[in-house]
Amino acid sequence: MLDMIIRGGQVVAPEGAADLDVGIQDGRIAVVAAPGTLGGEAGRMIDATGMIVFPGGIEPHTHIGIPVPKLWAGRSEVITQPPEAATRAAAYGGVTTLIDFAGNLAITPGESPTTDPIMKQVEERREAFAGHSYTDFAFHFILAGATSPATIGQIGEAIQNGVASFKIFTTFNAARTPYGHLWEIFQQVSHHGGIMAVHAEDNDIVTYMEEKLKREGRDQGYNLHLVHNNISEDIAFRQILRLAKHTETGIYFVHTTAKEGVAAIAEARLQQQPVYGEALHNYLEFTCEDYQKPIGTAIHTYPAIKYPDDRDALQEGLADGSLCTTATDEYTTYKDVKMSGNTIETVCGGHNGIETRLPVTYTKLVATGRISLERFAAITSSNAAKILGMYPQKGAIAVGSDADIVVYDPNLNKKLTLDDLHADSDYSIWEGFECQGYPVMTILRGKVIVEDGKLSGNTADGQWLSRKVAPGILARPGC
């Protein structure tokens, strides 16, 4: 007898969306079959009539339980919401796996990154999440600043140990990695079969614009898009792409923000470079014009929200395949912290977004008829699993895959209020957003963790994931 059968739903499987029943055994998908063919008995029978059954959401970009720089928070010892809260919000939002970061992100001037071994830092983050996470989790490793030869020498070992992706910054004070070091890092990551996650902005443009706007008395937070601007993204993306081409390195551009970034990725993919782009869901809705509103910079995540034609290019990129994933850059604080800084150098990055990504993306792109259900599953789950080395264990409703599933009710329309959300926070930039459809059940490895607004998982459920990127993803655009 199967542990669970989900029947009557429209299942978005790798072969396409169809009316199918899904049988689950021992945490994995045991069978996917024509409706009504699995027999009448199971440990639990779930009626998904009228529902869409997607692979559980994969959130490839979060910053959970880390110190907020004093520059942003206005005071010391502020921490973004802890794993218990972030993964609770994730579970409610249909997310079953997230990728956070290990390694330290030193963005306060004068602060320098720790030199502890990579795997020691990964182990510390595993310990911070183990027993505290409702969802499965993994970590990119941040190589911040002028990375030492000793640290670069540990990249191969880390990849062997399941840490498949490395994050670098081309701006942000002490976090910025100089190009020479990047060249070396790319060679090592490429040689050992890992992939780079890149925050690309042109540091010279950014610092020049900061100084210019300060000099001219125009350093208000609502001018952030003039600092972290379109030409900066254009130049930085193309420089990274050249370095990647010379070193045959796979690139995952986090938070693409500008039409120039989308175009750079599309051109590289056309030339068969293994390049992938991520869009944040707040960039699909808001524009820099919204910065002008009261508490307008609450919507801000770095680099910066750009113009209406950039927003359109991001949506189009997700629809036409130039971009591959949606993410949130989850970085949840309370409103007093988020709104503490109000200049181009002090506005706090990030927002509490992990819970809203699926319904917002569905509303913006599926409900408007711009993308198919299959494409939705790709940009919210499967592609992140493929690019970052978790497929087909994660990201697929297929026999043998982990039974990570979100049951989505396309007819449940919801105008979001703070009461609908489950983060440790007292504001949401999505308050008032009208969702077309909403997740109603989340299943992690065969266990129902959220059902009809009730949390039934626990913080011991989440497991760390060892990742390995498939060769096909690193050889050419593999999704």
**Shortest distance in whole angstroms from residue 101 CB to Zn ion:** 8
| CA dihedral for 134, 138, 142, 147, sign (positive or negative) | positive
**Shortest distance in whole angstroms from residue 262 CB to Zn ion:** 19
Spatial distance between the Cα atoms of 234 and 318, rounded to a whole number of angstroms: 18
When the beta carbons of 105 and 213 are compared against Zn ion, the nearer one is 105
**Shortest distance in whole angstroms from residue 129 CB to Zn ion:** 17
Q: Is-cis flag, bond preceding 109, omega within 30?
A: no
Q: Which stretch binds Zn ion (CB under 5 A): 144-152, 277-285, 327-335, 404-412?
A: 327-335
When the beta carbons of 81 and 363 are compared against Zn ion, the nearer one is 81
Residue with smallest beta-carbon separation from Zn ion:
329
- Nearest-Å Rg of the Cα atoms of the chain is 21
Spatial distance between the Cα atoms of 230 and 283, rounded to a whole number of angstroms: 14
Does residue 131 contact residue 458 with C-beta atoms inside 8 Å?
Answer: no
Candidate list 100, 329, 402, 404; residue touching Zn ion; CB under 5 A? 329
Show the site string, 129-168: x = touches Zn ion by CB under 5 A, - = not: ----------------------------------------
- List, as one string, the DSSP characters of 373-430: HHHHHIIIIIHHHHHTT-TTTSS--STTSB--EEEEETT--EE--GGG--SS-S--TT
Q: Which stretch binds Zn ion (CB under 5 A): 187-195, 243-251, 321-329, 375-383?
A: 321-329
Q: Which stretch binds Zn ion (CB under 5 A): 80-88, 322-330, 355-363, 410-418?
A: 322-330
Does residue 363 contact residue 444 with C-beta atoms inside 8 Å?
Answer: no
When the beta carbons of 35 and 67 are compared against Zn ion, the nearer one is 67
Q: Which stretch binds Zn ion (CB under 5 A): 29-37, 270-278, 324-332, 441-449?
A: 324-332
When the beta carbons of 28 and 167 are compared against Zn ion, the nearer one is 167
Greatest Cα pair distance, the chain, in angstroms, is 73
- List, as one string, the DSSP characters of 96-121: EEEEEEES----STT-----S-HHHH
When the beta carbons of 233 and 329 are compared against Zn ion, the nearer one is 329
Q: DSSP 3-state assignment of 450? A: strand
100 binds Zn ion (CB under 5 A): no
**Shortest distance in whole angstroms from residue 254 CB to Zn ion:** 6
Query: Rule CB under 5 A: which residues touch Zn ion?
Result: 329
